[in-house]
A = this chain, B = another copy of it.
Amino acid sequence: MDFKSHLKQKSKYIEDKLKEYMPQESGYQKNLFKSMNYSLSSGGKRLRPILIMESYRLCGGSDEKFVPFSMAIEMIHTYSLIHDDLPALDNDELRRGKKTNHIVFGEDMAILAGDGLLSHAFEIMLGSETKSLEEAQNKLKAAYEISRGAGIYGMIAGQVVDVESEGKSIDIDKLNFIHLNKTAAMIRACMRCGARLAGAPEREVEAISLYGEKIGLAFQIVDDILDIEGDENILGKHVGSDIENEKSTYPKLIGLEKSKEVSKRLVMEAKEALSIFENETEFLAKLSEYIVNRDR
């Protein structure tokens, strides 16, 4: 099977699992569930859940223990998009070609649906029984990695500095801080989470972590590039908004060609980081290439 078919198959697997994990739309709070499920169902590449699965497998995990964590990360990713789209933040009306959550359900519900997804992610990760010390410790560490990546020294830090930097010219250090935290921290956390869950030795955790950081940064640089060169119909969102919002981006600070070079170099370094593993790393290697070559 070629890479794209593989990716599709894995996305489908995550998609099906996600349906099982979505709250049933009943009870007094059913509109909350509708709002959460609306955004959870909005497609996307399901990249983060796949990364947890792949990291778990690469580090020797052979059962389905990664599933609650994969579901949780997609809920956290979805909450971050809902809050990011709010009028007080990016004020976006479209996301992946669909109306954003607050446009459909109102701002109050969008805030609470985001809060609900974040809380529920932890409920899912922490919920089930554990039988051995190793299993319990791995689970604690895996959930910790997610909380760290999503938190005030991770994603939220990137969000805040991103918001504060709008309309200002910032230097490359600050831009790297934003990109590394806003996007790469969560992707790195996915890799660490899968490795922790499999009880990987520290050396493997650090290697897979480096892979995550590199592809996370590359992912964000490609995002910056797509906002200039992308096709609105393929992307499903408005192009050129970074320039309109006077956002500092990689192309703005170091130029378009140089940005492409950097993203390619990052992917090479990501692949190098995989070299310590004895298990099959082909899918993750191809995935890193896909990230720089994607058109949406």
| Contact with A119, one of B106, B116, B136, B150 (Cβ below 8 angstroms) | B150
Are A151 and B28 interface neighbours, CB within 8 A?
no
The docked-state distance in angstroms from the alpha carbon of A31 to that of B140 is 30
- Contact for A88 among B108, B155, B159, CB less than 8 A: B108
- Select which of B32, B36, B106, B118 is within 8 A of A118 by beta carbon: B118
Within 8 Å CB of A116, what residues of B?
Answer: 151-152, 156, 160
Closest CB in chain B relative to A193 CB, distance in Å: 12
Interface string of A111-129 (1 = CB under 8 A from B): 1101110111011001100
Q: Mostly helix, strand, loop or mixed at chain A's interface?
A: helix
Q: How many copies does the complex hold?
A: 2
Bound together, the chains give a CA A178 to CA B112 distance in angstroms of 15
Of A36, A107, A122, A144, the most chain B CB neighbours within 10 A belong to: A122
Q: A127 to B152, Cβ gap below 8 A? A: no
> Are B108 and A127 in touch, CB under 8 angstroms?
no
Whether A271 is near chain B, meaning CB under 8 Å from some CB there, is no
**Chain A interface residue bracket vs B:** 35 or more
- Nearest CB on B from A162, distance (A): 10
Task: Kindly state whether residue A83 has any CB partner on chain B within 8 Å.
Answer: yes
Which of A86, A118, A160 counts the most chain B CB atoms within 10 A?
A160
Distance A152 CA – B120 CA, assembled complex (angstroms): 7
Asked if A147 CB lies within 8 Å of chain B CBs, one says: yes
Nearest CB in chain B: distance from A116 CB, A: 4
Which of A107, A118, A130, A132 has its CB near the most chain B CB atoms (within 10 A)? Answer: A118
Interface hub of A109, A150, A151 (most chain B Cβ within 10 A): A151
Most interface-central of A28, A36, A137, A155 (chain B CB within 10 A):
A28
Of all chain B residues, the one with the shortest Cβ separation from A129 is: B137
Residue of B nearest to A125 (CB): B147
B152 and A126 form a contact (CB under 8 A): no
In the complex, chain B residues whose CB is within 8 Å of the CB of A144: 122-123, 126-127
Contact of A161 among B28, B130, B140, B157 (CB under 8 A): B28
When distances are taken between beta carbons in the complex, the residues of chain B under 8 Å from A120 are 147, 151-152
| Chain B residue with the shortest CB-CB distance to A32 | B160
Interface positions of A (Cβ within 8 A of B) = 23, 27-29, 31-33, 36, 79, 83, 86, 88-89, 106-109, 111-112, 114-116, 118-120, 122-123, 126-127, 130, 132-133, 136-137, 139-141, 143-144, 147-148, 150-152, 155-157, 159-161, 163-164, 174, 177
Given A32-B157, A111-B111, A126-B143, output 11 extra A-B contacts at Cβ < 8 Å. Answer: A32-B160, A33-B152, A83-B112, A83-B115, A86-B111, A109-B160, A116-B151, A122-B147, A123-B144, A123-B148, A127-B144
